[in-house]
Every structure is written in C-alpha cells, then in structure tokens.
Amino acid sequence: MSYWRAILLVAGKDLRIELRSREQAVTLLFFALLVLVVFNFAFDFTVIDFVTLGPGVLWVAFMFSGVLALNRSFQNEREQDRIQGILLAPIDRSAFYLGKVAATTLFMAAVEAVLVPIAVVLFNFKFNGRIVLAILALVLNTVGFAAVGTLFSGMTTRTRRGDLLLPLLLFPAAVPIALSAVKTTSHLFAGHPLSRYASWLAMSAAYDLIFLAAAVLLIDHVLEE
C-alpha cells in the first residue's frame, strides 16, 4: 500500500466515523459559537471596532475548539486498545500521524467555515478582504496547530489527565501560529495589501513544514508501546 493511500485511509476512517455519528462536529461548532457569544457579551462591539479585536476573538474560538478536537483525536484508538491494530497494520506510523493531522485539520476547517460567516453577522462586520488569501491563512495556521497538536495528543491521551495536559503543552508551542494567525487576519480584515503580511504567511508555512517534518521523524517514539 502506498504511503499516500495509507494517509487517505486513516483520514477517511476518522471522517466516516464522524459523518455517521455527527458527535464531534456539532459539539465543536456549538462550543466555538459559545466562545464567540461570550466575547460578544464581554466586549461592547458597538464601541470597539471589530477589526481591532475580532481576529483575536475568532482565533481563540478556533483554537479552543481545536484543542477539543485534538483531545478526541486518538480517543477511538485508545478505547479497547484499538491502537494495537493500527500499529500492527503494514503502514508507516508517520502515515497514520499524517492521516490524523488531515482529519483534525478538516474538522477545524469545517468549524471555521461555519463560524466566520456567523461572526460577520454577530459582530456586524463587513468583510472586504480577499477571500482566497483568507482561506490560505486559515489553512496554513490550522495545519500548523493540528500538526503540533496531533503529535502532543498522541502522548497526552495516554495519560489520565490528558485533556488537561494537552492545552498546557500545545498553547505555548503554538504561540507563533497564534500570533501569525491573529496578525494576518487583522491585516486581511483591514484590507491591507499582501506585502504587509506576506512574511506572516511565510512564517506559518515554515512552521507547518518544520513541525510536520519533525513530527514525521518523531512519531515512532511517541506511538511506541
């Protein structure tokens, strides 16, 4: 079996489970929505410009719901030791990891795709930035978050306090992603030219590549039983 096919199979498995149960997407979406609503109460957006605060609010919602998704990422495998089956399967463990990253990225992207229009309505914001670049920024930063998050959740889900541990490890490590995401989104919302934030996009891309590569090299040590 080719490497790519293994990745697709693992990601497809997770998506199929999700499509049949529809547990996670709905929960994640409502959680992210609640974060937005809480911020809507916490700050008076008739006074504060959404361009100033909105990117931070959005990314807090994305990352909090992302951590929930990542905490669940290995749950199916951990239950009843199903992970043994995956580890015995004739596929590379890094393919298993990349499949997981792909699935988590898709879950997070689905939440983002629904949440952004809701935020536009909720905060009376007129989005006049470039859609393609906005999607690129969302994808680059989501992949980076999911890449490091999946590597860490491979460790934390084994522990008793895993769901507490993951954010503890992930948020400091994901600081570059958080900064890049918020800055890029503010520039996009403000309608600035690409040259103002191209370096942030490049940083996110570099972060993705560095940590995907590092995780592919390290994942054997994480998943070893």
Partner 1 sequence: MPEPVDARMRTGRSGFVEQGLWVAVAVLVPVCLHQIFQVVPTEGKMGVVQRIFYFHVPSAFAGFLGVGLCALCSALYLWKRDRRYDLVAHASAEIAVVFFTIVLLTGPIWARPVWGVWWTGEVRLTSTLVLWLMYAGYLILRRNAENPEQEARWGAVLGIVGALDLPIIYKSVEWWRGLHPKVLKVSGGQGLDPAMERGLMLCSLTFILLFALLLVLRCRAGALEDDLAALTRHAARRGAGAEPA
Q: With beta carbons less than 8 A apart as the criterion, state whether 139 and 130 touch.
A: no
Residue 78 tokens, joined: 């951990």
Gap between the Cα atoms of 69 and 65, Å rounded: 6
User: Please, which residue, 21 or 84, has the CB nearer to partner 1?
Assistant: 84
One-letter amino acid of 63: M
Q: Would you say 189 and 50 are in contact if contact means Cβ atoms under 8 Å apart?
A: yes
Name 28's Cβ contacts closer than 8 Å, sequence gap at least 6. Answer: 65, 68, 69, 107, 111
Determine, following the binding rule CB under 8 A, whether residue 148 of this chain makes contact with partner 1: yes
DSSP 47: T
Q: How far is the CB of 221 from partner 1 (least distance, A)?
A: 5
Which of 200, 205, 202, 195 has the alpha carbon at shortest distance from 184? 200
Within 189-218, the residues that bind partner 1 by CB under 8 A are 199-200, 203, 206-207, 210-211, 214, 218
Closest approach, Cβ 61 to partner 1, in A, equals 20
Kindly state the smallest distance separating residue 2's Cβ from partner 1, in Å: 27
- Identify the residue among 72, 93, 100, 183 touching partner 1 (CB under 8 A): 183
Of residues 139 and 206, the one with the C-beta less far from partner 1: 206
Residues binding partner 1 (CB under 8 A): 148, 151-152, 155-156, 158-161, 165, 168-169, 171-173, 175-176, 179-180, 183, 199-200, 203, 206-207, 210-211, 214, 218, 221-222, 224
